[in-house]
C-alpha cells in the first residue's frame, strides 16, 4: 500500500512487525503523518480489502 500523503510504499510486513492493529493510529515511517488502516471483509476485491487513510484530528 501507499501512504496517501507522501505516496511512499508501506509494507504490510512492516505493519505486522510493528504490531499495528486495524483502526489504530500510526506514523508513516517516511513522512511522519498520522495514518490509520481499516480492513473491509468480503468486498469485490476479495476476502479482505485494506484501506489506508490520513488521520485528521
Closer by beta carbon to Zn ion, 8 or else 49:
8
Nearer to Zn ion, 27 or 40 (CB): 27
Q: Closest approach of Cβ 1 to Zn ion, in Å?
A: 11
Q: Give all strands of the β-sheet with 34-43 in edge-to-edge order.
A: 26-27, 34-43, 46-54
Task: Using DSSP, state whether 14 is helix, strand or coil.
Answer: helix
- Nearest C-alpha neighbor of 52 from the set 40, 41, 39, 37: 37
| 22 versus 32: smaller Cβ distance to Zn ion | 32
* Residues engaged in binding Zn ion (CB under 5 A): 3, 5-6, 28, 30-31
Amino acid at each position: 500500500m501507499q501512504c496517501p500523503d507522501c505516496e511512499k510504499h508501506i509494507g504490510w510486513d512492516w505493519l505486522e512487525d510493528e504490531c499495528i492493529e486495524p483502526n489504530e493510529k500510526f506514523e508513516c515511517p517516511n513522512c511522519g503523518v498520522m495514518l490509520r488502516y481499516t480492513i473491509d471483509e468480503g468486498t469485490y476485491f476479495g476476502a479482505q480489502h485494506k484501506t489506508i487513510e490520513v488521520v485528521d484530528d
